[in-house]
Amino acid sequence: MKSLNFKEKMVVCICWLITLFMCSSGGYKFTQESLSALELVNIIGVSLIFFGISLAPKMFFTPIKQLFSTTYKLDTLVNDKLQQSIVISGFLISMFALLAEVM
């Protein structure tokens, strides 16, 4: 985190706080109130998406055209494949939960 400027550190902290708040409120609602298991799975999936996005804070301050360029390599806090797999797994978990609720 030494190579991040103040704005990027704030993005990481905010995304981690959102992730922590979502997981804790989802866990509380699941144990104390009547939150269904599929809704808890959906909350965990969205939390994974926020956590994965927080591992690439430079993405928030890079122009969109540059992000979609084939030559641009996004700097992440961890290995690129790990960050991408966290975001994709969160997306897949959320889609599974949404499709299971619909059916």
Return the pLDDT at 24. 93
CA distance 14 to 9: 9
Residue type, 46: V
Sign of CA dihedral 95, 100, 101, 103: positive
Q: What is the pLDDT of residue 67?
A: 83
Q: Taking the alpha carbons of 67, 71, 75, 80 in that order, is the dihedral positive or negative?
A: positive
One digit per residue, pLDDT tens: the chain, 103 residues?
567 889 989 999 999 999 999 999 998 988 888 888 889 999 999 999 999 999 998 888 888 888 888 888 888 888 889 999 999 999 999 999 999 988 8
Report domain extents, the chain: 6-102
- What does the pLDDT read at residue 1? 53
Identify the pLDDT of residue 4.
82
pLDDT of residue 42: 93
